[in-house]
Every structure is written in C-alpha cells, then in structure tokens.
Structure 1
Amino acid sequence: MALTQVSSMTTTANTLADAMEHTLALNSTSTVPPSKTMRFERKLGNSELSYYLPSRENGVNDMYLHISFRAPTRCVRGRRPELVWAILRLRHPLLASNIVMNDYDDVRFVYTTHQSPEAALLDAQASLRYGSQTKDELLESYLNGPRTLSDKQLSCLFLSSPDFTQNGLPDASEASTDAIHECEYAMCTTHFLGDGMALHQFSNDFFGLLGGDKSDSELRILLDEEWQKRWADVNPQTQVLPSCMEDCLPPSSGSKFQHVAEKVDFIRNQEKQIGGHSFPRRSGKPCRTTVSLVPIEADRTGKILKLCKANGVSISAAMFAICNLAWAKIAKDKKELPMMMYSALNMRPYLIPNQTLYNSYWFLAVGYFNIILPSFLPGSCDENKIFWHRARAAKEQSTRAAKSRMIVPRARQMAHERGVRAKAWGKEDDEKAAGTWKAPPPAPPKPADASKAPSTALVGLSLLGNLDGIYKHATFPDLQLHLLTTGTRQRPGGMLLYSYTFAGKLWVNFGYDENGFDKEVIDEFWGNVLTGVDTFLSSPQLTSRI
C-alpha cells in the first residue's frame, strides 16, 4: 500500500524547536542517583509450569500479538518507541525477567533491578527490533523460524516499516515532516508469562504512550519517575513479582471434607467431558504453522452483532455453532458421539488482587472449559433453526462454566493436574534427549471399561470478544490501528481458531500445523466455517426460536 503523504508545511521555527526538543530528550542524562541492583524471584505455579516445561525445546505456545497501524513521523521516530517500551517494562517486571530452572519442581522467575533509568533504557533497546518486514514476513519468521524467545529473554517487541532502518526512523531526514508511515507491531512473549488479556491491555498502553500527547522529553522524564518510585527506596523484602494464579485463588475452607468434595466434583465434571471426533492426522514432517485471517466489513459486522443479540446469543456462541455445523457436514462416522470443542476461561474476575509494588496485569490467569454439541444434522429440521438452537446451547454451557460455584476449586485442581503431567513429561523428554530414559515395565492388563466415553476435542476456539472495549482508540488519535492478528508457535498437530471484533470489524483467524493434518479435510472444514458465517449470520430475517 502506498504511503499517504500529508502536508509538510511547517515553519522553520517550529521545525527547529521540535528537532531540538527531540534531541534533548534523547541525549539527556538523568539526575536520578544510581542504585544498587537487587534480585527478586519466585517459583512458577502449576499453570505456569504446564506452559514452561513443554516450551523449552522449540518455543511451543510462545505468543504473539500483531497490529498493523499508520503513524505520523513524530510517533515513531528516533528513540520514542524505546522510551515507551522501557517505561512499560519497568511497570511490568515479568517482561524483563528471566527463568532459572533448578528442578522440575523448582523453576523460578528472576528479576534483577536496573541501577538507573539509563540502564533500563539500554535493556529495553536490546529487546526491541526494528525492521522493514511485512506482516507475513514477521509472522513466518516468528512462527516457523528458530525460536525468538528464551529463558534469558521472555519478551520481545518488533516494529517494522518500509521506512525504517535497523535503528528505526532516522531523526535528521524525517524530523521536519508529517509523513504517514505504514507500520507493523508485534509483541511477543512466552505463554507462561501471561495470557491474551495481558497482551491486549499492554498493547493499548503501548499505543496510548506512543501516540499520546507527551513529548519525547516528557516521556524521558516519565521513565525517570517510574524508576525512581520503584527503586529509590525499595525494601529487598518487598513483593515485586506478581503472584501466580493459584496463590491468588480464594482459599477453600481447608477442611478434609471440603478437599475430598472438591476432588470428587472435579472427577465427576471431567467424566462429563465427552467428545469422539478429531481431524485425520499426518506425521513425518516438521510442524509448519499457517494462518488464515478473514475480516468482515464494519457495516456487515454491525448487522451480524444485532442478529446475534436478537437471537439471544453472543458472536462467541455463534462461532461454536458454526464450527459444529462445519464439522457435522464432514463427519462420516461416530455420529452417535458428540463433538467437543475447548476454550480458555479468563480467571481474573475470580482472583484476589495482586498486592505488589507494581499491581501488574502481566501474569497467567486462564482456566478451561468445553462445549459439547451433537455431531449430526437432523434431516427433518431447518438448518438455520438448528444453528441458532446450538448457538443458544453453547451460550448456556459457557455461562454455566463461568458462573459455577465450583469454578475456583475446579481451576485449582486442573492447574495441579496439568502441572503434574507437565513435570512427568518434561522429565521424560530430558531423559530421552540424554539417552538415559528407560521405558517403565508394562502395567498389568485392566479389564476393558466399555462404559468409559472418549474425551477428544476436535478444535480449540479462542473467542476474545470485543477488543475495541480494550483499545481506547480515542486516546491515541494520531495512530490508526486497522488490522490485528494473534496466535502462538504450535506443537505438531496444533490448531486454534480465533474470533474477535477490532476496529469495528469481525475477524476470524485460523492457525494450524499444515503438515499435521489431512489437507483436504482441513480445507473443507475451513470453507464450511466461512460459508457458515455467510449463511447463518447474514440473514435479513431474524430466526424464531425452537
């Protein structure tokens, strides 16, 4: 896309003043006295371990959030992005932490303080990368190239534009213009460090500072202030790092009966998670993630949202139903078994607030729930009515999961179970890599349990809702954010479908390992999903309930 050139008629006095102010901001030396470095650490919780241990070899589940945006020169020139990045890394210490693994039960976040604001800025510069790559080039490199992140670097920020050099936008050649630059932003972190809610809130804060009304010199002063209030007189015993999710869940009564009841409830609830369908898989080739992103225009998105509301569901519930019908048209057997889809549940509303020096929102806080729907299509019923009926069933199941009085103990028990599995598999992986693994002796045969139903999920859905409720576009009016996509580095055979509204549009985003599945089946399913959006969410007539 050609860059739009706007008027560059400015007075010589304004240009010189602007350039001088910018130069002073970059070259200023802080009057803040240096401090001794201090080290703060805490152990990873079970949820964090369940993401950390599998990520070690090749970055499985490393997250990214990409946004395409247009910006005037003043917002992206020189060191301004680095000042913003440094300020936010001071506010959220896990972004600037590293990992130390002592044992499978003892993996720790370690945060070492910066001696001065200048040291914080230098540290931020080391993890901010400028370039001229396109969106597709950035994502291809991050998803399918060598791992970007590591135990020593848990976060990284990419800014790319055809106008950037390796050090960003040059000051001298562009300081006096109001050119508009087409830019790519990609925020990358490990999943054990945080979740999607943290990614989006952080990006809103980043653009709020980058496109806000503070000058470069004012941002430099803000960096000094952020450092000063944290490290001028900090107590080494202060809790600096946000606690893990499990430590922030409201405690149970502590009685033996309560613990037993919670465990029984968890087991019974897991037994109800029945699913008998999966995509045909292929193996033998390395994982290669491909991403398909489909936007729906704003005027049509508005009509879709009104249609969903009139039928008593959210767009998230509608997407579960669309995926269900997309598969039902493909499935050739096991019609007697239901189809199961899994999704993440935001646990932040259920937590005791983190009372730390930072009150940072960068921590992992997700639970999990499943949606279970029939895998067949009745021949005697109108397909449109089936769709809305199943969308309402998905809404009911989602609401039941989020509002269950057992949600906290179930989340705690699930975190424990995932942590135990991750430690066992991590140990096994390390022993296999070292050539020391020995297969356990075969277990004695057990009688077949014909009553035990399968619990296989077909696909995962990450339904992020209305992201325009998070991005306060009016607070950075000089920036135009116009495209968003998100995802993770995947394991072989990984698959995840995202749906969200952003910049007034509905977006459907499908990421999967193209070497891990039968291509014809995947293409047919994805085609059915897009057809379902067209068919069920574009009807001018509101469907009556059945």
Structure 2
Amino acid sequence: MASVAVDRLIPTPPPSDDEKSPIVSPCHVLDVPSKLSSTSRLQYERKMGDTELSYFLPSRQSGVNDMYLHLGFQAREDLVKRSRVAIVWAILRLRHPLLASSVEMHDYDDVRFVYTAPANSDNALSDADSYLEYREQSKDVLIDSYLNGPRTLSNTRLSYLIVSTPRSDSIPTPPLSPTEAGASDVPEDGGERQHDILICAMHFLGDGMALHQFANDFFSLLGSEKTELELRQQLDDEWATRWDTPADAILPKALEENIPVKWTRMRQAAAHVDFLMSQERFVGGQAFPRRKHPERHTVVPTISFPEDRTKAILKKCKANGVSISAALFAVCNVAWARMGDGRKELPSMMYSALNLRPYFTVKPSAPWNSYWFLAIGYFNVVLPNFLPSDDKVESTFWHRARQAKEQSTQAAKNPLVVSRTHEMARERGERARRWGKEDDEREKGTWVPPSPPSASSPTERVLPVRAEAPSSALMGLSLLGNLDGIYKHANFPYIRMHTLTTGSRQRNGAMLLFGYTFAGKLWISLGYDENGFADDVVDKFWAAAIDCVDQFLG
C-alpha cells in the first residue's frame, strides 16, 4: 500500500493583495521562526490519498461531487451582518485548515493540498472575507445556481460561504434599543427576517458528517451571546494558540492513514481475494432507463412531514424493528417493483455511504484536531424485485426493511471492513487516475484506445469461474439519520432553523435520495438529472415512493 506523504513546512513571503493562490515552494524544510510575523507566512502541503484522489480527479472539469449544505433560518439582521459572519468564518477556517487550502496537481498520482498559514489574525479575517459572498436570492435560486450554473469552487477556492437575505416587500420589525453597556449585543427579540446560508466545499475535503458538524459549530458561534468584539478577541486568541508556536504537521491525514494496516505479502493477498469475493456477491439487475443529453440539469424535489406525523412514522418503524433509514431502502425497492420495470427475477441493488470514523486508530491532538477529512466507505443493499399479492405486501415491506437493516449492520460490523476499505480505496484511486488521464487525452485529441488482451495469454483469475451476473445499481441513498443530534439548537437560541437541503453537483444521469430528520421533521429529497432519464420515469418513481411512505409508514 503506497504511503501518503506527510505535511511539509516552508516559510514563504506573504502574497500580494491581488494574489489569488499561494506561492509554491520547493519540497524541503527550512528553518522555522518561533513566532509568525506580519512579513512571513508558513506553507504546508501533503499528498492526497487514494480516496481523496478518487473525488478530486473527476471533479476538475465541471465540479462533480462539489458539496453544498443549505440552511434556512429566522434571525435578526445584525446577527448575520457581514462583519460578524466573517469573524465566525475566519475562526472556523483556522480550526479546519483544509477549508483554507488550495490544490496543486503535479501528476495523476501526485496531487497536493497546499495551505498558507495566516500571518496574523487580521490576515485570517481578510482571507475569510474574500471567500464570503452576500446575495438577495431565494433558496431555490441559490441551490439551482450552485448545481446547474458555472462552478462555484476551484483549485484555489476549496470552500465558499454564501449568505442570502431574500428581498421582501414587508418591513422587518425594528430591533430593540441597545442593551446596557457591557451586556451582550444580542437582544432577545425583534427585527427577525428570513435568511439562507449555503456552505460550499469540495467533497475530497470531507463528507456529510463534517459538513453538518461544521454548520452546527458555525451557528453556535454566530448565534451565541458574544458581542462582535468578543468574537474578534476569540479569533485573536485562537490564532495565537495555533501559531505562536507553529507545528510540524497540521493538515488532517488522509483516510487510509487514519486506519493503517500492517501489511505483509500474505495479508495483502488475502485482503485482495476477500475484497474480490465480497464484490462478486453483489448482483443487481435493475436500473432506470437513461438517455443521452448534452446538458445536465439537476433538480431536488423535497417533501417534509409535520412533527406529529414524523413521531408516528418513527414509532411505527421502531415497532417493526427498523430505523427510518432501513425503511427507506424498502420504500425505494417496493416503489420500483410496483412500476414493473426491469426483469422480476433479477434483484434490485442500492448503495449507501458507511461512516468510517469509528474505525480510526489515529487520533489527532489539539489544537490540530480538525474533523474536516474524508471518512466514508460504501456498502450495498440487495433486495428482491418481485411483490406478493396485495394482502401480503405490507408484511413483505417490513420484512425487506429488516433485510436492509441486517445487510447494513453486516457491512458496518464486518471484521474485515478496514482491509476492504483499503482495497476499495486502491481500486477507486487506480480507476480515477486511469479515467482522469483518458479524459485529458480525449480533450487534447491524443487518446488512443488500449489494445485488447491477447487471447494467447488470458488473464489469470483469482476466483473460481462463475456465471456472469449483472451488477447494476438502481440508485444511491444518503441516509443522514437524526440531524437534530448534531445541531444543538439550544446553543443558538436567537436563531431558528427551519429548512435543510443538502447534496452535490452531479454527473450526467445521476440520482441520489436523501433521508433525514431535522427540526423535528422527516425530510426526503431526490436529487437527479432531469435530462438524463427517459420520459417521465423518475416522476413516476417519486410518486410511487411517496405513496409507499403514505401506505406503510403512516
């Protein structure tokens, strides 16, 4: 297993004000001053791991997988004024240096994060402000422009923050009179308006759990009782904590380094065979009929359920021994089977993400213990594609939900999950490098198709010969669980969140269903390329899925 290079530490001159990207220095270590001054900036870098590469290389052209998190909330305008938001944004960019990094590509297997440390807290604040934008757009316009418009992120802008206060004909309630000297500048009420925030980040920086934890920390600072002056002092203190004595390595490690394995030749061979055997068990013969279209257009239809109905749905799931996540696998399975598309004898395969943080054995130490890093693997759920008679369909639904739960649990608790993660990372990295190189050559007009393997020297098989079986995935599900366990609403009492939508820029013909509870409500959304599927097949599926929720979940 190839190792991932450690951070390098290089003092560099400060960039000019109009310089968009940091200066790249030779790969060696120079003397490091005990304290940063206003005339020097330190620079760190490390190579991407295989999993990070598998997200970075396909994203280069159009931003495939660039993540976003939208949150709609009510708050007074002075809580979300630019000066206050910029300070909070700067504090969090200090805590999570990958957000403030850039990317430099030397070769397909040598892509590096480059982080230029702020020379002082003023520098940190001005850097953060340059990656902050204010608009007057609605939620739908914000999300549509991010998903379907020109790419927001780039190699020199790995994260971005957009705050929007849509125009309204109504005049907001005026704020209360100033509080007494020395007290908080956050009044208890008055002047509330609707605001929207869009947190944008490259997927190779981290995953959904990092994104939601970050949003909670953001609002905990923004909606705290601290005055703007106190937040500014916190920025000064946090900069001093990190940079009075610069560390040797501050960038979070790649996924593969967080779950290291002591490889021997025998162990690596056994892991490879186990991985191949585990992959061959996944059979999927169902797929949405697609069509080619030159332009991708992602839409995200979303439904939410009132709190009382959400409680009833969760109670019914619990009574049947499953979570809402397992039930949503069954919803998609039965909805597709009812549509009657595909061969009934072939099963339906769906995939989802596996949180790998519980398996990490490398624990970073404070203050460089950022949670912004990739920590996801993947697992599949395979369910039958036929349905019994109508009088047995409900019992079948709950049986399949329990099958989904069992398969999800087996994937999470498999004793070989770490070695399989390494093998999957290796395979995804190799595939991404090969396809990335091919994409570049096609664009240049220099691509030459590889020669087919010679019949006289067949490839040696590791596994016994088996009958060919399809391995098509019907769709992906991103099941985020109870997000109210992450968002500590009591920590920001002056901000009332009411809407959450998340997703990423997609490739042509992509589809991903999201399910989560937030603000006491169950939310289900379907992000898909409406130009990439035949006729109205997705509309029919979405309607069938909602019918299944109504019929089986209540």
Normalized against structure 1, the TM-score is what? Answer: 0.88
For 1:346-385, what aligned pairs fall within 5 Å after superposition? 346-355=355-364, 357-379=367-389, 382-385=392-395
The aligned residue for residue 61 of structure 2 is 57
Structure 1 distance, partners of 2:491, 2:535, is 44
Q: Does 1:532 align with 2:542?
A: no
Q: Confirm or deny: 8 A CA contact 1:45 1:244 kept in the other structure.
A: yes
Structure 2 distance, partners of 1:117, 1:333, is 59
Pair 1:416–1:298, CA change in 2 (3 A): same
Q: Does 1:336 align with 2:349?
A: no
Q: Confirm or deny: 8 A CA contact 1:242 1:354 kept in the other structure.
A: no
**One-letter amino acid matched to 2:119:** Q
Residue of structure 1 aligned with 2:203, choices 157, 168, 191 = 191
Q: Does 1:397 align with 2:383?
A: no
Q: Confirm or deny: 8 A CA contact 1:262 1:410 kept in the other structure.
A: yes
Structure 2 distance, partners of 1:527, 1:149, is 34
The aligned residue for residue 345 of structure 1 is 354
Structure 2 distance, partners of 1:94, 1:354, is 17
Pair 1:127–1:451, CA change in 2 (3 A): same
Match of 1:438, SS? coil
For 1:485-524, what aligned pairs fall within 5 Å after superposition? 485-524=501-540
Pair 1:392–1:118, CA change in 2 (3 A): same
Deviation at 1:492, TM superposition (A): 0.3
Structure 2 distance, partners of 1:309, 1:511, is 27
Deviation at 1:331, TM superposition (A): 3.0
Structure 2 distance, partners of 1:74, 1:59, is 34
Deviation at 1:35, TM superposition (A): 6.1
Pair 1:422–1:184, CA change in 2 (3 A): same
Deviation at 1:197, TM superposition (A): 0.2
Structure 1 distance, partners of 2:270, 2:363, is 28
Per-residue CA deviations over 1:363-384 (Å, capped at 9, x if unaligned) read 0110000000001112375111
List alignment gaps of at least 5 residues for structure 2: 1-35, 169-173, 179-184, 460-464
Per-residue CA deviations over 1:229-283 (Å, capped at 9, x if unaligned) read 1111214xx111000000011424x332222211111011000011011000011
Moved more, 504-513 or 260-269: 260-269
Pair 1:503–1:473, CA change in 2 (3 A): same
Q: Does 1:287 align with 2:296?
A: yes
Q: Confirm or deny: 8 A CA contact 1:35 1:231 kept in the other structure.
A: no
Q: Confirm or deny: 8 A CA contact 1:63 1:190 kept in the other structure.
A: yes
Q: Confirm or deny: 8 A CA contact 1:35 1:232 kept in the other structure.
A: no
The aligned residue for residue 478 of structure 2 is 462
Per-residue CA deviations over 1:159-209 (Å, capped at 9, x if unaligned) read 000369xxxxx99x9999930010001100010111000000000000000
Match of 2:203, SS? coil
Moved more, 87-96 or 73-82: 73-82
Q: Does 1:69 align with 2:73?
A: yes
Residue of structure 1 aligned with 2:242, choices 230, 235, 247 = 230
Structure 1 distance, partners of 2:132, 2:449, is 44
List alignment gaps of at least 5 residues for structure 1: 1-31, 165-169, 539-546
Q: Does 1:277 align with 2:286?
A: yes
Structure 2 distance, partners of 1:315, 1:409, is 29
**One-letter amino acid matched to 2:376:** V
Q: Confirm or deny: 8 A CA contact 1:74 1:178 kept in the other structure.
A: no
The aligned residue for residue 91 of structure 2 is 87
**One-letter amino acid matched to 2:199:** M
Alignment size in residue pairs: 497
| Over 4 Å off, 4+ runs | 173-177, 444-447
**One-letter amino acid matched to 1:414:** M
The aligned residue for residue 7 of structure 2 is none
Residue of structure 2 aligned with 1:204, choices 216, 219, 233 = 216
Residue of structure 1 aligned with 2:269, choices 236, 260, 269 = 260
Q: Does 1:104 align with 2:114?
A: no
Residue of structure 2 aligned with 1:38, choices 32, 37, 42 = 42
Structure 2 distance, partners of 1:324, 1:335, is 12
The aligned residue for residue 432 of structure 1 is 442
Q: Does 1:299 align with 2:299?
A: no
Residue of structure 1 aligned with 2:424, choices 414, 423, 436 = 414
Normalized against structure 2, the TM-score is what? Answer: 0.87
Pair 1:211–1:188, CA change in 2 (3 A): same
Structure 1 distance, partners of 2:226, 2:100, is 24
Per-residue CA deviations over 1:445-480 (Å, capped at 9, x if unaligned) read 689x77021111000000000000000000101100
Q: Confirm or deny: 8 A CA contact 1:296 1:505 kept in the other structure.
A: yes
Q: Confirm or deny: 8 A CA contact 2:287 2:342 kept in the other structure.
A: no
Residue of structure 2 aligned with 1:162, choices 160, 163, 166 = 166
Deviation at 1:74, TM superposition (A): 3.4
**One-letter amino acid matched to 1:256:** R
The root-mean-square deviation of aligned C-alpha atoms, in Å, is: 2.1
Match of 1:79, SS? helix
Residue of structure 2 aligned with 1:139, choices 111, 125, 143 = 143
Match of 2:515, SS? strand
